[in-house]
């Protein structure tokens, strides 16, 4: 393992909206230089230097290099109770055990479980591997134990749910002085029939002795193998015929089943260096086309090169308005031979959790311009919330590292239009009023709304349509519209929410009006941008004099 794998220097400027701006009508542009605060590091740790921060691959105490991305990880290297696991993906619900530095232990310590209530419990999440209902891909589950007792039924690890009506998940226990694995209903065949695999170690365990336990599954070949101290205990293929040439049974957890995660229940002894590692199915497809095949020749298995990567994930940052557009995303890098850096971003108008799998990530290149022009269904890739993550890939031998030195983003905030100017009531007649205001010239202007009511500031109706069309500009410098009960009833019927009363116009009653303008971003939704109210104006329908001179 090379100590200095990842070194990153990120410009230390607070991520805030005290940006430098350029105003052109309603266009607001700016730049973010991302600071290292609140970043999440996976297989990367920050190291403070005289000039700022550097980041390097975290040391591990496992026997083999980490060629997989880690999920649930518990090193027990600190003398404190867990609030989360080491990956930060799982929150602890119960953390009850004692901490020691035993002889023969790995790292800085181990968890010692000896009381009836001793255990570790973690909440599950759909954003994590253990909470996913998709294809689980390849995975490796490993840990070290030193049992003081070999009582049957001791739960070393459990992720088992019952909401589907059957047992589903992973259970690792002690049975007959052996380690017993049960993968309940975890594998589906082509007919969506689920299969359970159960197996025990050939090796009998002894008390007060350290063992390294590992279960590995290869999604490409279907090969499942169980090791104790690097010696194979069980090996088979999760296929329809149990052979490497068979049709794969695909691993997945049941939908609508999110059981908690449990370690050390009814167990007496040490547990140390627990880790669940994985490679996503999508990542496998980027490496080789054979990931899509049902089966492959056994000679190909294990020959896929996978570089160990470090990942830096940002928190979810918030813009002031929906529909914000990324104009350019770029970073400075220094690439050694056979190293690589790549980025992903995601945006949404809806707030999302930084660890959740939705919305989807999009891979980008350095100086990726006009990301907002990417279509996602009927919408463009724009949003109020943005998140990025960087993948730093060392050389295949792990001896050379890429350097990431700064991360920046140019953006344009889609601000609301300017409120209508110079509104006035220019005519008051029998059952009608005529309003006028200066037309809006914002580049993405779409229409106007007229709020009205019989009390100042208390608007009981919204007039947005004139006939079948929105109220829009005409060819003149000012916009004029006649308001009568026909127009009011037409807009009431189009509203359909039932939230407003839409009072009818009556002669001699004073009405209050305020106008807004709105743009063309996601019209008719809560994500649309609407201006502030204009100056309030009043109007009073009046029938006029009944006396006509002859």
Give the residue-averaged pLDDT of 48-72: 55
Strand partners, 436: 424, 480
The Cα-based distances of 4 to 9, 12, 86, 395 in angstroms read 14, 22, 20, 12
The string of pLDDT tens digits covering residues 490-516 is 999 999 888 899 999 999 999 999 999
Task: Give the pairing of strands 7-8 and 403-414.
Answer: parallel
Per DSSP bridges, beta strands 211-217 and 138-147 are antiparallel
Tokens 């000896």 found at: 114
pLDDT confidence of residue 35? 66
Rounded distance, CA 146 to CA 105, Å?
Answer: 9
- The stretch 87-112 carries a mean pLDDT of 84
Q: Which residues pair with 198 in a beta bridge?
A: 182
Q: How confident is the model at residue 4 (pLDDT cuts 50, 70, 90)?
A: very low
Confidence of residue 421 (pLDDT cuts 50, 70, 90): very high
Mean pLDDT of 218-237: 88
Q: Is the pLDDT of residue 201 over 90?
A: yes
The per-residue pLDDT for 169 is 94
pLDDT of residue 57: 55
> How far is residue 122 CA from its own chain's centroid?
20
Using the predicted structure, report yes or no on whether residue 477 has a pLDDT greater than 50: yes
Q: Is the pLDDT of residue 11 over 50?
A: no
Angstrom distances, CA of residue 492 to CA of 272, 460, 466, 485, 487: 67, 11, 12, 10, 9
Confidence check: pLDDT of 534 > 60? yes
Tokens describing residue 81: 């109770």
Quick check: 24 pLDDT over 50? no
Closest Cα partner for 499 from 546, 456, 544, 451? 451
Q: What does the pLDDT average to over 261-284? A: 78
What's the pLDDT at 487? 96
| Predicted confidence (pLDDT) per residue in 258-272, tens digit | 899 999 999 999 998
Instruction: List pLDDT tens digits, range 143-185.
Output: 899 999 999 999 999 999 988 788 999 999 999 999 999 999 9
- pLDDT reading at 291 higher than 60: no
pLDDT of 467 above 80: yes
Is 193 or 281 the better-scoring residue by pLDDT?
Answer: 193
Q: In whole angstroms, give the CA distance from residue 6 to residue 178.
A: 41
Domains observed in the chain: 7-59+307-414 (2.60.120), 69-300 (2.60.120.200), 421-539 (2.60.40.10)
Of 299 and 422, the structure prediction assigns the larger pLDDT to 422
Q: Is 58 helix (H, G, I), strand (E, B) or coil?
A: coil
In whole angstroms, give the CA distance from residue 161 to residue 423.
Answer: 63
- pLDDT over 70 at 242, yes or no: yes
Backbone φ and ψ for 355, nearest 5 degrees, come out as -100, -5
Region 280-291 average pLDDT: 35
- Max avg pLDDT among 6-15, 120-129, 378-387: 378-387
Average pLDDT over residues 89-107: 84
Q: How far apart are CA 97 and CA 80, in angstroms?
A: 10
- DSSP 8-state assignment for residue 249: P
**Per-residue model confidence (pLDDT) at position 54:** 63
Instruction: Pick the closest to residue 260 from 165, 134, 159, 183 (CA basis).
Output: 159
Strand, helix or coil for residue 489: helix
- Which contacts of 223-230 are long-range, i.e. CB under 8 A and separated by 24 or more positions? 223/301, 224/197, 226/181, 226/199, 226/201, 228/179, 228/201, 228/203, 230/63
The pLDDT tens digits of the residues spanning 343-369 come to: 999 999 999 988 777 898 999 999 999
Model confidence at 123, in pLDDT bands (50, 70, 90)? very high
Average pLDDT, integer, range 327-332: 91
398-413: average pLDDT: 82
Is the Cα torsion angle 35, 37, 41, 45 positive or negative in sign?
A: positive
Separation CA 468–CA 451 (nearest Å): 19
Q: Is the pLDDT reported for residue 306 higher than 60?
A: no
Lowest mean pLDDT across 48-62, 198-212, 288-302: 288-302
304, two tokens: 């896929």
């Amino acid at each position: 393992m090379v100590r200095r794998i990842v070194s990153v220097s990120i410009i230390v400027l607070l991520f805030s909206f005290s940006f430098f701006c350029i105003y052109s009508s309603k266009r607001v542009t700016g730049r973010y230089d991302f600071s290292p605060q609140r970043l999440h590091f996976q297989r990367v740790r920050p190291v403070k230097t005289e000039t700022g921060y550097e980041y390097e691959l975290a040391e591990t105490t496992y026997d083999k290099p980490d060629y997989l991305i880690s999920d649930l990880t518990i090193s027990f290297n600190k003398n404190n109770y867990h609030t989360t696991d080491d990956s930060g993906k799982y929150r602890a619900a119960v953390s009850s055990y004692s901490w020691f530095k035993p002889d023969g232990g790995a790292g800085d310590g181990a968890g010692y479980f000896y009381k009836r209530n001793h255990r570790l419990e973690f909440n599950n999440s759909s954003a994590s591997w253990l909470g996913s209902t998709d294809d689980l891909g390849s995975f490796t589950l490993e840990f070290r134990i030193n049992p003081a007792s070999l009582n049957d039924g001791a739960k070393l690890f459990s992720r088992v749910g019952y909401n589907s009506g059957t047992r589903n998940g992973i259970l690792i226990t002690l049975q007959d002085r052996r380690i017993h694995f049960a993968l309940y209903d975890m594998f589906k065949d082509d007919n969506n029939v689920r299969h359970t695999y159960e197996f025990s170690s050939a090796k009998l365990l002894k008390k007060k002795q350290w063992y390294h336990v590992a279960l590995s599954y290869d999604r490409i070949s279907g090969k499942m193998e169980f090791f104790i101290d690097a010696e194979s205990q069980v090996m088979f293929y999760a296929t329809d015929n149990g052979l490497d040439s068979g049709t794969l049974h695909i691993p997945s957890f049941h939908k609508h089943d999110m059981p908690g995660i449990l370690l050390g229940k009814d167990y007496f002894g040490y547990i140390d260096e627990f880790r669940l590692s994985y490679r996503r199915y999508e990542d496998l497809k980027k490496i080789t086309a054979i990931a899509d095949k049902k089966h492959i020749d056994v000679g190909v298995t294990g020959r896929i090169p996978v570089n160990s990567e470090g990942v830096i994930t940002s928190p979810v940052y918030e813009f002031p308005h929906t529909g914000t557009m990324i104009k350019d995303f770029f970073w400075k890098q220094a690439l050694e031979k056979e190293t690589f850096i790549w980025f992903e971003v995601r945006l949404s108008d809806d707030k999302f959790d930084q660890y959740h799998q939705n919305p989807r990530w999009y891979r980008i290149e350095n100086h990726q311009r006009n990301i907002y022009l990417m279509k996602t269904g009927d919408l463009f890739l724009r949003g109020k919330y943005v998140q990025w993550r960087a993948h730093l890939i060392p050389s295949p031998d792990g001896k050379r590292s890429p350097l990431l030195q700064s991360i920046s983003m140019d953006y344009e905030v889609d601000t609301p239009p300017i409120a209508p100017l110079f509104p006035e009531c220019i005519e008051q007649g029998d059952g009608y009023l005529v309003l006028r205001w200066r037309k809006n010239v914002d580049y993405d202007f779409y229409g106007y709304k007229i709020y009205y009511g019989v009390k100042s500031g208390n608007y009981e109706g919204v007039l947005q349509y004139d006939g079948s069309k929105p109220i829009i500009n005409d060819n003149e410098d000012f916009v004029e519209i006649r308001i009568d009960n026909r127009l009011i009833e037409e807009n009431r019927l189009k509203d359909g929410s039932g939230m407003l009363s839409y009072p009818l116009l009556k002669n001699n009653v004073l009405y209050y009006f305020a106008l807004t303008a709105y743009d063309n971003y996601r019209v008719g939704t809560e994500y649309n941008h609407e201006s502030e109210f204009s100056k309030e104006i009043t109007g009073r329908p009046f029938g006029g004099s009944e006396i006509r001179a002859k």
